[in-house]
Structure 1
Amino acid sequence: MKVLHVLATGGTGKICGIRPSLEMLACSPLGERHRFAMVASEEVNSTLADWNPDLLIWHKACSWKGLPSLIRHRARRQILFEHHYCAGFERHNVPSTLRFRTMLRLSYAAMEQVVAVSRAQRSWLQTAHLISASRSRVLLSSRTVDDFLVLPSPPPAEGRPLTLLAYGRLTTQKGFDRLLRALRLLPDGGLRLLLVGEGPQKGELEALASADPRVELLGARKDIPALLGQVDAVVIPSRWEPWGNVCLEARAAGRPVIVSDVDGLPEQVLDSADGSASSQVGSCGLVVKGESDADLAAALEALLSSTDQQRSAWSAAGRYSARSAWSDYMDAWSHLLDEFS
């Protein structure tokens, strides 16, 4: 079967986005059974004429501007992966819920199926009545994790400061400003932070970090596995996150995580859980239960006060939970494509 993936112009994601996962999928055994191609949205019409795919898969964000294109191709078999919108996005970015949800309902109506990338996201789709249960499904996002699974677990702290890593595009979504302010609420000496990425919030973050010697901004880096091998834990303070491949990578690397209680992040961390009002203890780290800087600072403090044994248990549980992520992802894709073959 010929499958055409449609991405936003230039694709999305440089560190852990959509395009790398699709490239990995094309190089997997599924690439021997199906022919995959990726195009930017403005190339769809010419590619359809030249290549005539059997299935059209949209990965770009829905919009009023893009709606005519989705409707124009509804005679074809097409599905949409919802990488972009979720409850957290709506809460932080949408001034008119009615207008936003109307656009999504019209966009989704052009699809045979809409694929959610986390259980929480699908729950939001259902609760908001954006698409029927019969026309939606969950396919948890992933990427290959072999280069993370081979990393040694973090060594015992033995009195040294714990090194944290946060990485991703430097935007308001990722909440790095919140992380830097939370770190300021803690006394010096216990933690240091490596912040990796580029983006429009770079200047603001540099200003926030300028007076804090515990913070090092490293810019864009491609050697994420190597960086993970140098740290004790990963912080993901996102304001919204439909899934969060950074959390998957940290789990595979055996690094305890601190994540915001938004969208697809908690389901990667929480098992049976207990905790305080400010943080919740999960199988492989902590979930910050509030949105304030103080709530995040309390979670950082909880990590700092945790024992080597607790962090080792988080490390082992996270790595175990991530071992089959890629094979599960390929299996889910295989089932999806078989349904459309």
Structure 2
Amino acid sequence: MRQLAAAHLLEDVSFGGVVKSLSIFDRPELATRIRNEMIEVNPAGVRAPRLDADIIITHFTPRWRTLPFLHALRLRNRKAFLVHVEHSYTRAFEELHVDSVRRFRAMLRGSYAAFDEVVAVSHGQADWLRVARLVPHEKLLVIPPWSDHGDLRAMPLACHSGNRPIVIGAYGRFDAIKGFDVLIDAVRRLDPTRFSLLLGGFGPEEDELKHRASLMPNMEFAGKVTNHRDFLGRCDIVAIPSRREAFGQVAMEAKLAGRPIIAAQVDGLPEQVGKAGITVDCSSAETLAAALAQLPKLPLDKMAEAARASVADAEITRLLAWQRLFGRAARYCRASQSVEARAAAPIRTSAGQIR
């Protein structure tokens, strides 16, 4: 099979979670079948390009202002197989941020109609897309994101002896949606000789979070996390108290590092937990504090083992899922070329004349 050409359209190609997830296409299992190119676009303000690509994969967030771009992209690239990866929208997003559900869903249905397939990044997200009837069942599939963290898989498993405070780690962008404010308030309710909080990251809420944690000797801000191995090596358990989370890359990284997780009961997070930790109602500091207070009674060492085991096959399952998608895209492209060839061929009448 000839190598396919894929164009990944992003609004921002600076290093981030979405760009990190594209590293899976550099794996030999996929690179031999598809040639990838990242293209930065402004889908709200420019005309959709005509691309020399067999597959076009969009990674930006659909909005009313991007609808003309998406449908022009379809019209100007009729022979390409179009895929959208939904990194942003979830049930919790709709509940928290949408005033008119009817209008919001109309925008999404109109956007997704431009694509041959829509990829959800978690089963929780896919369930919402399906129940809300935003994507036809036959066009919807689930492929969680993946970025290589081989150094995390080589780390020793978390092991808490009980002779020191349990270190609760959390990291990410300091934004209200991450729920770090609730986490700080929850840890403030705990015995500082038994629990400590290590927060990594930066963002618009940094000053507010530091003020909230002021005068607490058991809370430390580690700054931007550039070395995940070092940061996670200091954690006994990792908390993901997000108010919304389509997937939760932090949960995946923590499990690779052999760290138990405590995750909010929203969107794609619960399906990542299993025996690797616990899910908690993180909507209030009281409920989160009550769950954290039970950590010394939990089998954290067994949870650490389960965390590492739960992601043992994660990379290969993602690779296989993308291989299957590329297989469907290749068949689509061959069918399009066949139709074009037949349309261009001369038509012979029964008398042998060409017209």
Q: 2:261 aligns with which of 242, 257, 262?
A: 257
In structure 1, the partner of 2:135 is: 131
Letter in 2 for 1:56: I
Q: 2:300 aligns with which of 299, 311, 315?
A: 311
Any conservation in 1 of the 2:183–2:285 contact (CA below 8 Å)? yes
- Determine if the alignment matches structure 1 residue 176 to structure 2 residue 165: no
Identity over the aligned pairs, expressed in percent? 36
TM-score normalised over the length of structure 2:
0.86
Q: How many residues align?
A: 322
Distance 1:11 1:59 in 2: 13
Any conservation in 1 of the 2:122–2:144 contact (CA below 8 Å)? yes
Distance 1:225 1:11 in 2: 22
In structure 2, the partner of 1:121 is: 125
Distance 2:136 2:162 in 1: 53
Q: 1:5 aligns with which of 8, 20, 25?
A: 8
Q: How does 1:47-62 map to 2 (within 5 A)?
A: 48-49=49-50, 52-62=52-62
Shift in alpha-carbon separation, 1:109–1:319, aligned structure 2, 3 A: same
Any conservation in 2 of the 1:126–1:133 contact (CA below 8 Å)? yes
Distance 2:291 2:105 in 1: 34
In structure 1, the partner of 2:22 is: 22
Matched residue of 1:73: which SS? helix
In structure 2, the partner of 1:291 is: 283
Distance 1:55 1:195 in 2: 40
In structure 2, the partner of 1:274 is: none
TM-score normalised over the length of structure 1:
0.90
Shift in alpha-carbon separation, 1:36–1:303, aligned structure 2, 3 A: same
Q: Which runs of 5+ in 1 are unaligned?
A: 271-282
Matched residue of 2:293: which SS? helix
Q: CA deviation at 1:27?
A: 4.3
Distance 1:212 1:90 in 2: 35
Distance 2:65 2:48 in 1: 20
Distance 2:260 2:20 in 1: 24
Show structure 1 runs of 4+ deviating over 4 A: 43-49
Matched residue of 2:173: which SS? coil
In structure 2, the partner of 1:331 is: 320
In structure 2, the partner of 1:160 is: 164
Q: CA deviation at 1:47?
A: 9.7
Any conservation in 1 of the 2:168–2:238 contact (CA below 8 Å)? yes
Any conservation in 1 of the 2:56–2:83 contact (CA below 8 Å)? yes
Distance 1:32 1:300 in 2: 47
Distance 2:109 2:15 in 1: 23
Q: CA deviation at 1:303?
A: 1.3
Q: How does 1:237-248 map to 2 (within 5 A)?
A: 237-248=241-252
In structure 2, the partner of 1:185 is: 189
Q: How does 1:93-104 map to 2 (within 5 A)?
A: 93-104=97-108
Distance 1:196 1:208 in 2: 15
In structure 2, the partner of 1:280 is: none
Distance 1:84 1:322 in 2: 23
Letter in 1 for 2:297: S
Any conservation in 2 of the 1:11–1:40 contact (CA below 8 Å)? no
Q: CA deviation at 1:66?
A: 1.1
| The structure with more radius of gyration | 2
Matched residue of 1:219: which SS? coil
Q: CA deviation at 1:84?
A: 0.3
Matched residue of 1:197: which SS? strand
Matched residue of 1:168: which SS? strand
In structure 1, the partner of 2:210 is: 206
Q: CA deviation at 1:259?
A: 0.3
Q: CA deviation at 1:60?
A: 0.7
1:112-144 superposed Cα distances (whole Å, 9 cap, x missing partner): 111111111110001111111011111122222
Letter in 2 for 1:40: E
Any conservation in 2 of the 1:191–1:304 contact (CA below 8 Å)? no
